[in-house]
Amino acid sequence: MTASTRNIIAWILQVLLGLAFIASGGRKLMDLPGTVAMFGSMGMPAVVAYLVAGGELLGGIGLLIPRFVRPAALGLIIIMLGAVVMHATKIPGGLAKGVPAIVLLVLLLVVFWLRRPATSSTM
């Protein structure tokens, strides 16, 4: 894969994922009492709801800023790992309803990999 192709694929994924996480985090923040209640029903403290909502919003923005792509992707990967675990253990419907979380996790891993620092091939 050429560097140009890698860059185009990465940008497409970054924009799509960025918009998805901005929307998701924004929805959680717009309905904070509902978000806190949802997280509380899974046995998590309210602070986790605030961290996830803010992390999704900021991570989505970070995916759109070249300097912050890898740190944003890493933070969102951690959030999505938590989402997959919650779907597998606490959320009714299990992993079948967690497929979107799994897809987002895989796409974030792809972005993280595509945006890895270039290595020098000279010796």
Q: What is the pLDDT of residues 87-109, one digit of tens each?
A: 999 888 888 888 999 999 999 99
Q: Do the beta carbons of residue 52 and residue 42 sit within 8 Å? A: no
Counting the structural domains of the chain, the total is 1
122 in a domain, yes or no?
no
Range of the structural domain that residue 36 is part of: 3-114
State pTM to two decimals: 0.92
60 in a domain, yes or no?
yes
pLDDT value of residue 122: 53
Average per-residue pLDDT in the chain?
Answer: 94
Q: What is the pLDDT of residues 16-74, one digit of tens each?
A: 999 999 999 999 999 999 999 999 999 999 999 999 999 999 999 999 999 999 999 99
120 in a domain, yes or no?
no
Q: What is the pLDDT of residues 63-80, one digit of tens each?
A: 999 999 999 999 999 999
37 in a domain, yes or no?
yes
Instruction: For residue 23, give Cα distances in angstroms to 18, 37, 77.
Output: 9, 19, 17
Dihedral of alpha carbons 47, 27, 86, 62, sign: negative
